[in-house]
């Protein structure tokens, strides 16, 4: 997703809102992808995407049109 955004217009990234508490990394006895998930969220945030919680009021979300 981020690659496509960057191809078109990097400014579009700030229109995306990732619900941090509505996702979880894959964790099984054989694998734990927590580190990769955290790194991905950081990459998305560093690119300008908004990481929010589902419990945050929308009117408090950064960059949300008012």
Q: How high is the pLDDT of residue 54?
A: 94
pTM for this predicted structure: 0.80
The number of domains in the chain is: 1
Structure tokens at 28: 């099984």
Q: 17 is written with which tokens? A: 């809102």
Let me know if 49 is exposed, middle or buried by CB neighbors in 10 A (0-12, 13-18, 19+): buried
Give tens-digit pLDDT for 7-66: 999 989 999 999 999 998 999 999 999 999 999 999 999 999 999 999 999 999 988 877
Residue 63 has a pLDDT of 83
**Structural domain for 23, as ranges:** 2-60
The β-bridge partners of 32 are 27
Residue 50 belongs to a domain: yes
Please check whether residue 30 lies inside any domain of the structure.
yes
* β strands within the chain, DSSP E: 17-19, 50-52
Residue 66 included in any domain: no
pLDDT of residue 29: 95
The confidence score (pLDDT) of residue 66 equals 72
């Amino acid at each position: 997703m981020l690659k496509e955004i960057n191809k078109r217009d990097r400014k579009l990234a700030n229109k995306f809102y990732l619900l941090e508490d509505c996702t979880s990394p894959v964790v099984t006895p054989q694998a734990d992808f927590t580190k990769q998930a955290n790194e991905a969220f950081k990459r998305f945030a560093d690119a300008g995407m908004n990481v929010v919680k589902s419990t945050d009021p929308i009117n408090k979300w950064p960059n949300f049109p008012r």
